[in-house]
């Protein structure tokens, strides 16, 4: 019903650019690794053809006038203000955006790039069960390259970078997200927190509120999830994010805020309207992250007290008429499944890639 290919960029000064097309034939993506792209418009004289695989920066720009390609370690693109058939939502404020950069990963999800990586929301989320699917690919990386936003060019080296993958039919009914890997007074630190109200499979009309917190700090991963601890939050319609989580070993608290007049409305996949205006983001949020090491079930030593003015903050879905205050829950039988002592993720890794669900 809403087939199409779209790309959007949130630019300087809360700027925004979107390009969209109903034509899906030029889109390509690999089944079992991060590699995808699309050509909205090929370079003239190329016979209307563009590569449908990951190529070098030079070959990409020689072949693609408007489009993008994304890999685990490289990212290139060129977009114009051509909303096409995109659904209702924010209008582009910029005319063009062009970019190219490479990335050196530092942390994935579960440790450093050489450590075993984990499913962000537990092994069950790796299967086609919940909608949507969510995987943090890189909690922190360092990127080098350039971005041209209209007539301004920005060059950067080792800029903090984050990437995640969402796939499925639509985003949750309602959600929040906090991410930061650039702190003014603490190095080697990254935090991601997110929560949402999602529909349950096999139970029409049933929903649950879930959330998690993940911290990478000096080579250690601190993961707080509702089937192993307690996650609570109070999120304002805009301007305030309070999230906390506890396990037997850790207590983590995030306090984030932003000014009422900052932020950009973005598009998200929806069931009824396709790619439509459904969330709001800022990348200039204030964040205070505090972490305590628990002892004998009690809050003990404060090991992290870090601040940033470059936090990414988001709210989406709805309704957002008032603050959203909840405690995460994981309903049965899913809680029992996720606490299974069997090494499910190890078993899944042994399955040949051609037999795995797409995206794994």
Q: Per-residue confidence of the chain (360 residues) as pLDDT tens digits? A: 678 899 999 999 999 999 999 999 999 999 888 999 999 999 988 666 789 999 999 999 999 999 999 999 999 999 999 877 787 889 999 999 999 999 999 999 987 767 778 888 765 566 555 667 788 999 999 999 999 999 999 999 999 999 999 887 778 889 999 999 999 989 899 999 999 987 776 667 777 888 999 999 998 999 999 888 899 999 999 999 999 999 999 999 999 999 999 999 999 988 788 888 999 999 999 999 999 999 877 888 999 999 999 999 999 998 899 999 999 876 555 555 455 544 555 555 666 666 655 555
Answer yes or no: are the C-beta atoms of 42 and 49 closer than 8 Å.
yes
Q: What is the spatial distance between Cα 174 and Cα 326, in angstroms, rounded to a whole number?
A: 12
Q: How far is CA 340 from CA 15, 123, 228, in A?
A: 46, 10, 12
pLDDT of residue 356: 59
Q: What is the spatial distance between Cα 75 and Cα 55, in angstroms, rounded to a whole number?
A: 10
Q: What is the spatial distance between Cα 70 and Cα 73, in angstroms, rounded to a whole number?
A: 8
Q: What is the spatial distance between Cα 125 and Cα 193, in angstroms, rounded to a whole number?
A: 16
The residue among 209, 175, 208, 212 whose CA lies nearest residue 193 is 212
Which residue(s) pair with 208 in the sheet? 198
DSSP-derived secondary structure letter, 81? S
Q: 133-149 and 152-167: which strand pairing? A: antiparallel
> E-strand spans in 204-341?
207-217, 220-224, 230-235, 240-246, 250-257, 264-270, 274-295, 298-317, 324-327
Q: What is the spatial distance between Cα 183 and Cα 251, in angstroms, rounded to a whole number?
A: 19
pTM over 0.85: yes
Q: What is the spatial distance between Cα 244 and Cα 272, in angstroms, rounded to a whole number?
A: 33
Answer yes or no: are the C-beta atoms of 163 and 142 closer than 8 Å.
no
pLDDT of residue 126: 60
Token output for 34:
């991060």
């Amino acid at each position: 019903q809403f087939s199409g290919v779209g790309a959007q960029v949130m630019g300087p000064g809360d700027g925004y650019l979107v390009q969209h097309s109903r034509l899906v034939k030029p889109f390509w993506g690999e089944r079992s690794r991060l590699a995808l792209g699309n050509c909205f418009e090929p370079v003239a004289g190329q016979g209307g053809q563009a590569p449908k695989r990951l190529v070098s920066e030079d070959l990409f720009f020689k072949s693609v006038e408007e489009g993008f390609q994304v890999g685990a370690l490289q990212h290139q693109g060129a977009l114009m203000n051509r909303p096409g058939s995109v659904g209702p939502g924010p209008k582009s404020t910029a005319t063009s955006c062009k970019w190219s950069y490479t990335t050196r990963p530092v942390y994935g999800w579960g440790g450093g790039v050489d450590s075993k990586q984990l499913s962000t929301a537990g092994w069950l989320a790796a299967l086609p069960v919940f909608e949507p699917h969510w995987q943090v690919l890189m909690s922190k990386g360092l990127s080098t390259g350039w971005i041209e936003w209209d007539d301004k060019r920005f060059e950067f080296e080792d800029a903090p970078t984050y990437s995640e993958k969402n796939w499925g039919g639509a985003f949750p009914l309602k959600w929040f997200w906090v991410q930061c890997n650039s702190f003014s007074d603490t190095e080697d630190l990254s935090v991601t927190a997110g929560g949402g109200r999602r529909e349950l499979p096999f139970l029409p009309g049933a929903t649950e509120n879930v959330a998690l917190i993940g911290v990478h700090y000096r080579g250690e991963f601190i993961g707080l999830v509702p089937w192993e601890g307690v996650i609570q939050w109070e999120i304002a319609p805009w301007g305030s994010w309070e999230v906390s989580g506890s396990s037997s070993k850790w207590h983590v608290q995030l306090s984030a805020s932003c000014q009422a007049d900052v932020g950009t409305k973005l598009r998200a996949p929806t069931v009824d309207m396709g790619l439509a205006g459904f969330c709001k983001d800022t990348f200039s949020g204030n964040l205070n992250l505090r972490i305590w090491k628990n002892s004998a079930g009690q809050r003990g030593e404060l090991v992290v007290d870090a601040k940033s003015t470059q936090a990414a903050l988001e709210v989406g879905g709805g309704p957002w008429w008032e603050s959203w205050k909840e405690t995460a829950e994981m309903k049965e039988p899913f809680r029992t499944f996720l606490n299974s002592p069997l090494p499910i993720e190890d078993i899944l890794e042994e399955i040949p890639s051609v037999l795995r669900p797409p995206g794994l």
